[in-house]
Structure 1
């Protein structure tokens, strides 16, 4: 509430939680009535965090008619208020998450799912350190064909990819300056920006956090901010996995290490190769990859990105300093030894993604798993076990997995499966253009 006192110009607030697809669901409240959100919380149905990508109820879900579509209790997260710089009127955003009326965390809330995994680390005296790298396209979607927006500086459209091009960054300098200013206002630790391989494609890294929940919050809020701010500049920004058939897609790479109770990185043994615990974590992540692909590739369009020779992994393997592998151990000083998980698309729910990665790594550590030898050379050219190649294959692997059952609670698993199966059914009725229009803004 101190934030509102410091910003008397704010007349309205938004309260928002992430649903299973990472879409923000919530309410608009006059600022003068916002105090009761902290004392009493707010309410909306449990089913709201389990809507499909169109925002429709899941047919035959027990959360809808069978239960009377009853309410959950939503309380503010520890994040507190922040501005919404993409809106013309001064507005405060208050992230919330869902509980039962008796105060128990709601298992179907993606943020609660991540909190549950983090609690398992805490119980072992461990702290995950997490950073994300988010790729997105700036797009002119005003016509039937997606195009790169004209540069505000020159008025020209750059039709090709310009990897690490300062010219591409400079062409949209007004947007990026506003974006960094907004990230500072929202306490999102945006670090380096680069241009990527696709036309109008960029990547921004978010600084590592010793709080996995904040790292996921940062990624979720960053996606919301980028999409909202781009519209104020006259174009769209999209994290959809593959908006252009002929260009690489958007990924969301995740780097993580784990600290012990003394703050020491358990992946570091002083060597270039890293510790046995690093290899345990790698093995857990690799073992869970087929079953968790649905989390990393949750939409129909996601599987357009996961194809050979496209800068996205397809085989299940790991390597040192090799970007063709699903898991990469970046070159670094020993104290910064970490794992880079490269499978997820930009279209993921960050809470579920980080929960799946950290949950799998912990299983590898708990079970003392050992990976095969690291790859050398081009992973695409090697005979490796493959990720599920289709949406249906990924759904089936997720449904049948004993490893997924150790990471997520049964209610979330069932809700996610019902959601994805409904989306598969209705997505078949859409043309490719209609799918693109749907995913462009929602994911």
Structure 2
């Protein structure tokens, strides 16, 4: 077998041979709010990194707020000297970027797998959860589904405008599920799909959703949880870029219109043992019930992950298929945890609560932690919605309440890491307070 450095070096050299026009490569990683940060490297320097030269970026880049600012979180940011932390290249992610005006490449980087991983880096949090499950002989298979809106490229006094129908030049202001919308916007949607595939993402189904200019793209089931989350993160980046190239603005904002459905991140998860048997289907599906109970038990304590900002909480209890309580059901899209109809081999849960702009690494880590907790405690879940439409347990519906519910929950701290939980909760608290530091026109209308 090749050493990691030899494999990476071969990947970089093959890339340079296939794309001699590319002079720079963006080395990127996802921060806590779900934005990419990184550095643009000359491609010849990338060869040195692949061969083993150190790759260091500021540790606190992971802690950036939604607007890129730094908050004082414990001793981080202002009392720690802003230290560098080692990163490594993620094999298999060096790909060309087609949406920029100049030839460019990009590649994921991470601190997981280094000598001193950053405990609160999202990819590292997921890595620890997956390693713990693998040690127990449990192997998740994961598929993400992401909803997003297309808007006109130009904002109207800061507000989004409906995407223009390229055939009629009229605003696409009719919410529907019609297949014709896929045809009318086929140029940009096809480019999004092909660009994602060029990034190594397994794109499958494309659907027009209910909101005006709203679409959903699904990914294939993946037996590598990290790769599945990588796909979701990279898809958001490439989709925004492709949309701008076509004269649109793509957004994964959770609730851009109050009167229309929000955009969600739906995650399908099945669990297999070392022999390839579906863990959830064993013993007349009793483990499935335990896993559901665990998901529902931790869900109220993971709301800052599933709804990571002020706008995301607006989506809850909205117009279509957005739950207001922690619930589950068979073939029921009103439930937070849906059990799609399937044969025993493919039995899975579909976790539907997260907003489309949530951090995919953290969403998957929280879901898997819930499944693990359920399999450990073997509790029975509440009644499914199929039996009782009022079934469900309450969860926080604003950020400050959600942070309080998460920060001191012992199981969440154990499963996701106490250091991560403290850092994440303080980041969300500070982001929320910073968001409040602006007086809106409505506030003047009400109270001036």
TM over 0.5: yes
Q: Does 1:18 align with 2:30?
A: yes
Distance 2:77 2:287 in 1: 44
User: What corresponds to 1:276 in structure 2?
Assistant: 286
User: What corresponds to 1:408 in structure 2?
Assistant: 416
Note the C-alpha offset of 1:416.
0.8
Q: Is the 8 A contact 2:304 2:425 kept in 1?
A: no
TM-score w.r.t. structure 1 length?
A: 0.93
**Aligned with 1:191 (options 204, 221, 224):** 204
Q: Deviations over 1:270-295 (max 9, x none)?
A: 9xxx6111111111100001001110
User: What corresponds to 1:439 in structure 2?
Assistant: none
Distance 2:372 2:391 in 1: 27
User: What corresponds to 1:7 in structure 2?
Assistant: 19
**Aligned with 1:78 (options 71, 91, 100):** 91
Distance 2:23 2:92 in 1: 20
In the TM superposition, what are the counterparts of 1:220-235 in structure 2 within 5 Å?
220-235=233-248
In the TM superposition, what are the counterparts of 1:91-170 in structure 2 within 5 Å?
91-98=104-111, 103-140=115-152, 141-144=154-157, 145-163=159-177, 165-170=178-183
Distance 2:155 2:315 in 1: 24
Q: Deviations over 1:38-93 (max 9, x none)?
A: 21242111110011101111125422231111110111113330122211222111
Note the C-alpha offset of 1:315.
1.2
Distance 2:49 2:325 in 1: 47
Distance 1:418 1:390 in 2: 15
Q: Secondary structure at 2:281's aligned position in 1?
A: coil
Distance 1:358 1:99 in 2: 18
Q: Deviations over 1:6-33 (max 9, x none)?
A: 2111111000111011110100111122
Distance 1:292 1:174 in 2: 38
Note the C-alpha offset of 1:104.
2.5
Note the C-alpha offset of 1:5.
2.6
| Greater shift in the superposed pair: 198-207 or 418-427 | 418-427
Q: Is the 8 A contact 2:147 2:265 kept in 1?
A: yes
User: What corresponds to 2:438 in structure 1?
Assistant: 430
Q: Does 1:330 align with 2:340?
A: yes
Q: Does 1:363 align with 2:389?
A: no
Note the C-alpha offset of 1:296.
0.2
Q: Is the 8 A contact 1:45 1:69 kept in 2?
A: yes
Distance 2:74 2:66 in 1: 15
User: What corresponds to 1:441 in structure 2?
Assistant: none
Change (3 A) 1:196 1:125: same
Q: Is the 8 A contact 1:73 1:99 kept in 2?
A: no
Note the C-alpha offset of 1:172.
0.8
* Equivalences, count: 427
Runs (4 or more) in structure 1 with deviation over 3 Å come to 430-434
Q: Is the 8 A contact 1:291 1:403 kept in 2?
A: no
In the TM superposition, what are the counterparts of 1:163-182 in structure 2 within 5 Å?
163=177, 165-182=178-195
Q: Does 1:214 align with 2:227?
A: yes
Q: Deviations over 1:162-206 (max 9, x none)?
A: 12x111111111101111211221111111011111100000111
Q: Deviations over 1:118-141 (max 9, x none)?
A: 001110111100001100000124
Q: Is the 8 A contact 2:301 2:412 kept in 1?
A: yes
**Structure 2: any 5+ residue segments left out of the alignment?**
1-11, 443-448
Kindly report the root-mean-square deviation, in angstroms, between the aligned alpha carbons of the 2 structures: 1.8
Change (3 A) 1:37 1:63: farther
User: What corresponds to 1:344 in structure 2?
Assistant: 354
